[in-house]
Amino acid sequence: MSFFESFRIALRALTANKVRSALTMLGVIIGVAAVILLVAIGSGVQQEITGQIEGLGSNLLFVFPGNFSGGGGGGAGGPGVEIQKRFNMDDAQLVQRRLGAEAIVVPVVQGPAVLKSGNRTLRTTIAGANQAGDQVFNSTYVAGRHYSRSEYSSGARVVMLGATPSKELFPGQNPVGRELTVNGERFTVIAQLAAMGGTLSGDQDNQIYMPATTAQRLLGSRDLSSIIIKAIDPKKIDLIKAQTQQVLRPKFGEEFTVFTQEQTLGLLSSLLGTLTVMLAGIAGISLLVGGIGIMNIMLVSVSERTREIGIRKAVGARTHDILSQFVIEAVVLSVSGGVIGIALGWAGAAALTRFVPTQVTWWAVTLAFFFSAAVGIFFGVYPAWKASRLDPIEALRYE
Amino acid sequence: MVKTYMLDEIEVRALCGVDLQVCTGEMLAITGPSGSGKSTLMHIVGLLDRPTSGTVTIDGVDVSNMVPNELSAVRNRRIGFVFQSFNLLARTTAQSNVELPLIYAGVSGAERARRAREALQRVGLGDRLGHMPNQLSGGQQQRVAIARALVTEPSIVLADEPTGNLDSRSGIEVMAFLQELNAQGITIVLVTHDARVADHAQRVVEMMDGEIVADRCVANRIDAAVELETLGAVKGVGQ
């Protein structure tokens, strides 16, 4: 009997048992689609988190007052750390002088602010820095410019608006050149920044940026919140860290902490690791569920199919006629189910990007497809193989 | 010929030393109470089962040592089966069911359809080609099975309790077809526990506990066609 004839027999058997064929295919579809979709969500989230951390800059050092190295290694600003001494502008200048052209040192002042423009009011956060601030804050300009060195030195009342203040105070308008009050003082808007979206470090859109000198005067403090150092050559980051510690130790002892980007990543690596394990788990469970679905429907139909094999053998089917029919049936169901599953999983992942970041990964597609296909083919063919070896009368009598 | 089964380590002797010769063109009935081994004997004759010891010879060829695929070919070309439970493929049309043996015989599509239609017309189901088994009555299903048995033009038709699941009228119709086939020269072996059904054959072999206890010719053979006429007449009077 030709392959073509076997193919026709198999297709006829599949169309004669539409419900069984559909249920078997459904097992494959669910297995494949679930794995692709869940892994896509998982790796999408993972990539987004990694991207955000890397977006902070891979060559940055964050210097915070207080000793974070002992006591369980909590995150920056975590509870339980008592800050004795804070940095001021002189400390930042001292570090800059020691590092010279190797690095850009940015003093950072943060504090609360109330913005007013006309009858509109907004609570926000000030981020004060020097003229190199845009080297460490990842911001994109919609309009305007960064404040200059002279504006920094003189403590000029100029302000750059994040996306939220622009939208709230000057809806639908270009705020550059307009005036507003910050904590009661009159400022000129020199830039409008693009939206960055929520990130791990909070809402970076609801911020205003101004010279640190201006911010200190406005907040009535001579302290710095932190010092951010950008290494010109990322390879020298460890050396720069050591030099920074050397400079600050005489005055602060151990009461300060220098975080590298890697350490920040390290803080999140356990989270990412958990995420990866979770992904693998989800993929495994989806495959298991899909596989059991396929197995069930195949095994449930064994007795009916064994009788069918008995009938076919009684009227003259040879062992390989039976086997080729069942192999073709299983392959057709598994492959078409797999293809539909891939399409569904992919479409689902695309549809979900509106709510969560998703990324379809090739290993998930391949793994899901081949695993489900293998389960489908095995459980489709194995019982048939066993039945095809029985004497016809035993197959006919099978209960 | 001996056939034993192992059931829970107890040896069950279904057939203990049976020697039976069926002549070409004969219509033979095997009778006996249930458990007497009559079905086992027929399954072995039909190559659906193998004897534990002994030989089966068809047209002078010893088939006892054939491999399964060779047995399939012999069943396909020389033997037609009619079972008590019909054994039609579910959710498959009457015509496709009848075509089944021809597929495995390697007959091409158009030829197959033509022969299947012919066979169904012979059993009076020319207008039921596209019906599924569950859309047919028991008698009609058994006729589909008979069409399937004769579509390959076999020399032997084996019928295992062909009337067992049928009402008496359908049963007589089936017997009429078997007698008609026999009249055309096809050897018929029929298994039944019903003495009246057995009397449609020319020769009756009686079995008991795995052995042949009687082998006789039927003196007053029943002609199913005559029976049908009588039934029709009775029905006519009744109305």
Show residues of chain A in contact with B50, CB under 8 Å. 391
Cβ-based neighbours of A179, under 8 Å, separated by 6 or more: A117, A186, A187, A188, A189
**Cα A149 from Cα A155, distance rounded (Å):** 10
Instruction: Say how far apart CA B37 and CA B209 lie, in whole Å.
Output: 7
- Mean pLDDT, chain A, rounded, equals 85
User: How many structural domains does chain A have?
Assistant: 2
Instruction: Please answer whether residues A207 and A124 qualify as being in contact, where contact means their C-beta atoms are separated by less than 8 angstroms.
Output: yes
Model pLDDT for residues A100-146, shown as the tens digit of each residue: 888 999 999 999 999 998 888 999 999 999 988 887 777 788 888 99
- A-side interface with B, Cβ within 8 Å? 1, 5, 9, 12, 16-17, 304, 307-308, 310-321, 391-394, 396
| Whole-number Å distance between alpha carbons of B146 and A173 | 89
Please indicate, yes or no, if residue A90 is contained in any of the structural domains: no
Would the CB atoms of A1 and B76 count as touching at under 8 Å? no
Strand-pair category, A185-193 with A202-203:
unpaired
Nearest-angstrom CA–CA distance, B193 and B195: 6
Axis-axis angle for helices B94-105, B68-78 (nearest 10): 120
For residue A290, tell me if it sits in a domain: yes
Q: First and final CA of chain B: distance in angstroms?
A: 53
What proportion of chain A, given as a percentage, has pLDDT over 70?
A: 90
Task: Tell me, yes or no, if B50 comes closer than 8 A to chain A by beta carbon.
Answer: yes
The question of ipTM being above 0.85 is answered as: yes
Q: Report which secondary-structure segment, H or E, holds A112.
A: strand A103-117
User: What percent of chain A shows pLDDT beyond 90?
Assistant: 27
Q: What are the sequence ranges of the domains in chain B?
A: 33-188
Q: How far is CA A299 from CA A20, A147, A332, A398, in A?
A: 11, 73, 18, 14
Chain pair A-B, CB pairs under 8 angstroms? 71
Q: Closest Cα to residue B124, out of B173, B80, B87, B157? A: B173
One-letter amino acid for residue A160 of the chain: M
Using the predicted structure, report yes or no on whether residue A344 has a pLDDT greater than 90: yes
Among A169, A202, A226, identify where a domain stops: A226
pLDDT by residue for chain B (239 residues), tens digit each? Answer: 666 666 556 777 778 888 888 889 999 999 999 888 888 888 988 899 888 888 888 888 888 888 989 999 999 999 999 998 899 998 899 999 999 999 999 898 899 999 999 999 998 899 999 999 999 999 899 999 999 999 999 999 999 999 988 888 889 999 999 999 999 999 999 999 998 999 999 999 999 988 899 999 988 899 988 888 888 766 544 43
State which fold the B33-188 domain adopts.
Rossmann fold (3.40.50)
Rounded Cα distance, A261 and A130, in Å:
21
Which of residues A226, A258, A280 is at a domain's end? A226
Per-residue pLDDT averaged across A184-191, rounded?
Answer: 93
pLDDT for residue A371: 87
Confidence of residue A234 (pLDDT cuts 50, 70, 90): confident
Who's near A159: CB < 8 A, 6+ residues apart?
A180, A182, A187, A188, A189, A190, A208, A209, A210
Q: How far apart, in whole angstroms, are the C-alpha atoms of residue B211 and residue A256?
A: 104
Q: Is the pTM of this model over 0.80?
A: no
Closest chain A residue by Cα to residue B43: A393
Tokens 């009609």 belong to B140
Could you list the residue range(s) of the whole structural domain that residue A38 is in? 3-52+268-397
Are A14 and A332 in contact by the 8 Å Cβ rule? The answer is: yes
- Closest Cα in chain B to A306: B89
Distance, in Å, from the CA atom of A348 to the CA atom of A362, rounded to the nearest integer, reads 16
Measure B128 CA to nearest chain A CA, in Å. Answer: 18
> To 10 degrees, what angle do helices A18-55 and A362-388 make?
160
Region A47-51: what's the mean pLDDT? 78
Find tokens 């596989």 and name the residue. Answer: A291
Q: Where are the alpha helices (DSSP H) in A56-157?
A: 89-99, 149-154
Q: Which of B50, B69, B87 sits opposite A391 (nearest CB)?
A: B50
